[in-house]
Structure 1
Amino acid sequence: MKVVIDSGKIGITPSYIHEDFNGIEDLIGFANRKNENRGFLFVSKVLGKHIPVTPTEMNKVYSVFSKELSSDSKAFVVGLAETATGLGAGVASSLENKQVYFQHTTRSILPHAERWFEISESHSHAVSHIIYKPSQEMLDSLIDVENLILVDDEITTGNTLKQLAKEYLKVLPNIKKINIVSLLSWLDDVKFSEFKRDVAEFCKEEGLVAPELTQSFLFNGSFEFEPNSDYKQELPKSAHKGASVLDCSWNMGRLPVQMKHVVTTDYVTKIEKIIASEGSEKEISIIGTGENMYLPYLIASQLEISGYNVTVQSTTRSPVVVDGKVITSCHKIPMHDNGLVEHYIYNLNVNKLNVVITETGSKSEKEAYQHLGYVL
């Protein structure tokens, strides 16, 4: 398969596609990034980020992984920020294990939380991943976890997940199995064998028992990118590259939690009142903000169960080119964080009833999103 976009030519060689999907076109589109380091972007059609997705479509993905990963052992699921926070939580909530714990890496600074460790992404403009230390009570629950599940939307080199695996092995030494989970994996058998060998050597050096390592994915293959020398797109000066200071009560995942039922009744009631006041049968779009993807999914899912036509998507730090195809529109969101920076929402349908679900509910946060629609 060959795809030509403004930034260059992408050649894809598939090795595996999950039987519930017809091909890679079911999972991704192809877009151009405003980034001199990597000019292209695989845009997920099932993640609920750049492209609006129904809760049913998202739950289909969670169910696929649940069937593969569920076991009798205690599980600790970790999603990577920014794009896989919701995916990680969705996978965690779908597991049939009796005890499931969840955490996601973050680019938010929590004033009253202690950092456990940090890792970095070499290919990204983004700040390091911050991993916060659990409370002593939570740590006591996690210390005997044997199954670690690391979740990302896409794995290219595996270096970030390798760093993450090593750091968790240092602090949770009873881990016996690590599942690497992704929508797209570009790691073939040779590269994944190198991944496993590297982790095993690390464990030997640290005096740890090397865990079993497995991969779960919807698509596996390889790709080549031939850049277009005429394509010139630099990272905008207004792009959000630093960590954000965040102080809110809703920190599910930034601090490790045990997965449990999350009540969304208040949100759904407020949205149904908005629907009634509109007096129309508009389609509904529930919009998350940055790492805040799981709660909007739950709200959208409840609305869908109630019979509403609803999709979910979220804002992002990632600057992408509007091409009129995969990325049809871009709305900028001004954010005051050590100066004025921008976040973005793509493919927003202004004719829908758009409802933004914020994390803090503060006046300044609501004002930042009010041009998109209703803000809760």
Structure 2
Amino acid sequence: MTATPQTWTGRWVADRAGIALTGSERLPELVGLALRSGNPKRAHLLVSTVLGKHVPQRPSVVHGAGLELGRRVRDLLGAEAAGRAVVLGYAETATGLGHSVADGLDAPYLHSTRRPVPGLDPVGGFEEEHSHATSHLLLPADPGLLAGDGPLVLVDDEFSTGRTVLNTIRDLHARHPRGHYVVVALVDLRSAADRRRLDEAAAELGVRLDLVATASGGVELPEDVVARAERLIAEAAPTTAPPAGEPPSAGPAPLDRVELDWPAGLPDGGRHGFTARDRARLDAALPRLAGQLAEALPAGARRVLVLGFEELMYAPLRLADALAERLGGDRVRFSTTTRSPVLAVDDPGYAIRTRLAFPAHDDPRDGGSPERYAYNVAPGSDPARRFDAVVLVVDDVADTPALHEGEHALLGQLRRVTDRVLLAVLPSHRPVPVVPAPLAAPSSPPAPLSAPGSSKLPGSSELPAPLYGPAFSSYPAEEVAWLLKDLSGVALEAPTEEREEAVQNGGAHYAESLPVEYQPSPEYQELFHQALRGSAGRIALAVGTVAETLLRERGPGLVLASLARAGTPVGILVRRWLAFAHGLSVPHYAVSIVRGRGIDPVALRYLAAHHRARDVVFVDGWTGKGAITRELADVLAGTGFDPDLAVLADPGRCVRTYGTRDDFLIPSACLNSTVSGLVSRTVLRAGLIGPDDFHGAKHYADLAGNDVSALFLDAVAARFGEVRAAAVEGADRLAADPHREPDRAGWAAVERISAEYGIDNVNLVKPGVGETTRVLLRRVPWRILARRGAGADLDHVRLLAAQRGVEVEEVDGLPYTCVGLIHPRYSRGATGGDGRAVADGGTVTETTGRES
């Protein structure tokens, strides 16, 4: 592993405090000694030379130590049992070691954490009795990770008394009993009494308990060891001299931020679980990430330290290992910051030569010490120990002003002890909790959505389960959960003219039937592809602007509820952006809203039963007159849900969260189900939809040969990287825009057009590119008004209009790019020409994305 040092880094403590190591000859190779400060429970600290925590070490040695232990566990278990094993590591010190053991075993991994995560409930916890920060939480995204009956492998850096492991086993065994536990540590230093205690506990629980360690032995302590340590700490002179190699007048080293192309949705560690798929994705990405780090380093850097951050050990370790391979030679070392307060003594026989103390920069309210530490980073009195560059790797939760600002901030201190500092910020994984069976209805009625005594949105004793692809829709199950009832086997289609006459004359509700799915001609299909090629970047920018705005204003606990069906591709794209840019994996549902009848109340009850109402964000594609925004505001009043709709394009100026207010072509408006996961418009019809049913829809699986749903999503998501900076700037501009609040300016244009063309029913006026396209695809169009000079955004509209024999009239002063007028002949025929008898006719049940 590594050669025994000429001067053992435990000699200073051993000679002065009377502490001795016994047992394996490898112990001095694996650990040195230091004195803890501020911990009356234990005077000494075993400082591992191969853990990558307090002592900078070659990353191949750090990762290799865990891999070796993992392979030994695999040999112990055998192939069949190893395939069912789960590895649990301990925070903070052993998070990287445990992950490396899981690599060697090729098993899923979870580590305990001291960082609470809002919205994620612990599935267990335990105490580390000798530690300065004792409470551990277990926060797997999937509670089933610890529920299996395969072996559980518990990994810590040292096995001193066994109390922590025993506390863990008792807690987990009470929840999910299993027959086999394996304890893994670098060093096993238990006394005979400690060994007996663990054996007795295993017998009491009726389990097999094995131990695998790199070396074993013991620690001999004098009875007055605490008093000796306190005296030595009091006598030790503080190390306040400027670090060697830095002239007192030198300014701080340059600081650069490195933007790593971290894979979207890949966990940054095992805090919430890390699977074999995650491992493969990271392995594939490491060469590219290492190249990005190497390009940012100064050309002359010969000694580079990659410095991780407390529990964030594994990702920085793997980055350091990949960087070492890329740079070649013996140039890279790895270590991490820590919460553990330890005395620093600048002596070759002491394990902690130098100490940087700095304010906590993730969240000092989390119960830990407000001060954190980086050991052996400053060179001290030995210029040969100076690093030419330090790469600090933190997660975005820790990238706060406290990291950058103030006299003692970590980045400021690093800039005084090296020649160049690079900061790499990884997206902290914010998981979607996995609900068993999938998202099953709760066993008891959900709480009402409104205040006690209100009649709004009454509860129900049972809730239906969502639908998922590929059984329903062509979208993968992880992209969206459909809060809909599958009506695929019901004949609901009717000729367009028949539907229009029935709707306008009041004989039927628009949502009671479906139009026949439009099958595009080859010319029209080519227009779709041209539009997608030309607008993918613009759509990506709008998606990013909306996502960044939602994240900063609503926080990382977002729950996306897209308005089916036109809003669903938008919701998926927003979800993909959050994964790409921030490592977030947020829930996404598709829900039905029918103008004139409101949003699906059963879907609302479902959302309220599984999430906090205030976290739900409703998402759609674009706005027209603002009918859906008014519908949301009315139906959600007093429920706890926020009615503020987020859309890509807001030409009607109806919402405050948007990507743009330009009226441009979103190619998903060009088609129907074949660009929306092969799902129909939503249906609300008596006899098909009961009081405890979701609204309905059909899955047109027979149209799979024409499906471009994935093509649309992938084409837009492929542009995320190039528009990321612009999207952040767009969110900044939106936050500062004094004209952001909706003024519904588009409504005045609709009223003017209605009067000018003799249309008394404003529901027959469909403003905007998206709405006009829907008129041509699903209604009986009368006339298209196009802004004079409108270009390629209207090519598909002109082609559809020509195919249906509809006039396209160019006009001046149009606030929208175009407006579609539905033929008013049916309402006139029913009322003698004034249209007033069907005030709620026309598109009274037009679902979202058409009339938002």
What residue number does 2:174 align with? 170
Comparing 322-331 with 57-66, greater Cα deviation is found at 57-66
Alignment-mate amino acid for residue 223 of structure 1: V
What residue number does 1:33 align with? 36
For 1:54 and 1:191, the matched residues in 2 are separated by 33
What SS is found at the alignment partner of 2:47?
A: strand
What residue number does 1:150 align with? 154
Q: Say if 2:315 is the partner of 1:313.
A: no
- Contact 1:76/1:145 (<8 A) preserved: no
Q: Say if 2:357 is the partner of 1:332.
A: yes
What residue number does 1:50 align with? 54
Q: Say if 2:385 is the partner of 1:359.
A: no
1:111-152 CA-partner distances (Å, limit 9, x unpaired):
12111122112222213111124425xx1x653341110000
Change (3 A) 1:54 1:195: same
Comparing 42-51 with 55-64, greater Cα deviation is found at 55-64
What residue number does 1:198 align with? 201
For 2:41 and 2:16, the matched residues in 1 are separated by 11
Under a length normalisation based on structure 1, what TM-score does the superposition of the two structures give? 0.83
1:265-298 CA-partner distances (Å, limit 9, x unpaired):
56423311222xx231321110100000000110
For 1:69 and 1:230, the matched residues in 2 are separated by 39
Equivalent of 2:344 in 322, 332, 341: 322
Equivalent of 1:124 in 106, 127, 131: 131
For 1:338 and 1:321, the matched residues in 2 are separated by 24
Q: Say if 2:28 is the partner of 1:11.
A: no
Q: Say if 2:209 is the partner of 1:213.
A: yes
Q: Say if 2:107 is the partner of 1:80.
A: no
For 2:11 and 2:304, the matched residues in 1 are separated by 32
What residue number does 1:253 align with? 270
Question: How many angstroms does 1:197 deviate by?
Answer: 1.7
For 1:253 and 1:56, the matched residues in 2 are separated by 20
- Contact 1:315/1:346 (<8 A) preserved: yes
Change (3 A) 1:122 1:321: same
For 1:213 and 1:25, the matched residues in 2 are separated by 27
For 2:208 and 2:130, the matched residues in 1 are separated by 27
- Contact 2:202/2:209 (<8 A) preserved: no
Alignment-mate amino acid for residue 300 of structure 2: S
What residue number does 2:308 align with? 288
What residue number does 1:89 align with? 99
Question: How many angstroms does 1:4 deviate by?
Answer: 5.4
- Contact 1:7/1:32 (<8 A) preserved: no
Alignment-mate amino acid for residue 358 of structure 2: I
Percent of aligned pairs with the same amino acid: 26
Comparing 181-190 with 84-93, greater Cα deviation is found at 181-190
Question: How many angstroms does 1:39 deviate by?
Answer: 1.7
Change (3 A) 1:110 1:7: farther
For 1:85 and 1:123, the matched residues in 2 are separated by 18
Q: Whose relative contact order is higher, 1 or 2, with alpha carbons under 8 Å and at least 6 apart?
A: 1
Question: How many angstroms does 1:251 deviate by?
Answer: 5.5
Please tell me whether Structure 1 or Structure 2 has the larger radius of gyration of its CA atoms. Answer: 2
- Contact 2:89/2:95 (<8 A) preserved: yes
Structure with higher strand content: 1
For 2:40 and 2:194, the matched residues in 1 are separated by 26
Comparing 23-32 with 265-274, greater Cα deviation is found at 265-274
Alignment-mate amino acid for residue 252 of structure 1: G
Change (3 A) 1:229 1:252: closer
Structure 2 residue ranges without an equivalent (≥5): 1-7, 235-264, 380-385, 415-420, 425-852
- Contact 1:366/1:375 (<8 A) preserved: no
Question: How many angstroms does 1:33 deviate by?
Answer: 1.1
- Contact 1:29/1:42 (<8 A) preserved: yes
Alignment-mate amino acid for residue 255 of structure 1: H
Query: Matches of residues 226-265 of structure 1 in structure 2 within 5 Å?
Result: 226=222, 227=225, 229-232=227-230, 233=233, 250=267, 252-259=269-276, 260-261=279-280, 262=282, 263-265=285-287
What residue number does 1:104 align with? 111
Q: Say if 2:370 is the partner of 1:374.
A: no
What SS is found at the alignment partner of 1:270?
A: helix
Question: How many angstroms does 1:301 deviate by?
Answer: 0.9
What SS is found at the alignment partner of 2:310?
A: coil
What residue number does 1:272 align with? 294
Query: Matches of residues 298-309 of structure 1 in structure 2 within 5 Å?
Result: 298-308=318-328, 309=331
Alignment-mate amino acid for residue 323 of structure 2: L
Change (3 A) 1:231 1:157: closer
Change (3 A) 1:196 1:289: same
Query: Matches of residues 58-69 of structure 1 in structure 2 within 5 Å?
Result: 58-69=62-73
1:140-178 CA-partner distances (Å, limit 9, x unpaired):
x653341110000011110110111122222332x2211
1:327-352 CA-partner distances (Å, limit 9, x unpaired):
11111221252399211001014533
Equivalent of 1:160 in 158, 164, 175: 164
Alignment-mate amino acid for residue 108 of structure 1: R
Question: How many angstroms does 1:40 deviate by?
Answer: 1.1
- Contact 1:334/1:342 (<8 A) preserved: yes
For 2:141 and 2:166, the matched residues in 1 are separated by 21
Comparing 36-45 with 288-297, greater Cα deviation is found at 36-45
1:87-134 CA-partner distances (Å, limit 9, x unpaired):
0001101114xxx11111111011121111221122222131111244
What residue number does 1:343 align with? 372
For 2:131 and 2:191, the matched residues in 1 are separated by 22
- Contact 1:88/1:104 (<8 A) preserved: yes
For 1:64 and 1:257, the matched residues in 2 are separated by 19
What residue number does 1:182 align with? 185
Cα RMSD after superposing both structures: 2.6
What SS is found at the alignment partner of 1:41?
A: strand
What SS is found at the alignment partner of 2:18?
A: strand
Alignment-mate amino acid for residue 96 of structure 2: G
What SS is found at the alignment partner of 2:410?
A: helix
- Contact 1:369/1:375 (<8 A) preserved: no
Comparing 144-153 with 65-74, greater Cα deviation is found at 65-74
For 1:190 and 1:228, the matched residues in 2 are separated by 21
What residue number does 2:221 align with? 225
Under a length normalisation based on structure 2, what TM-score does the superposition of the two structures give? 0.38
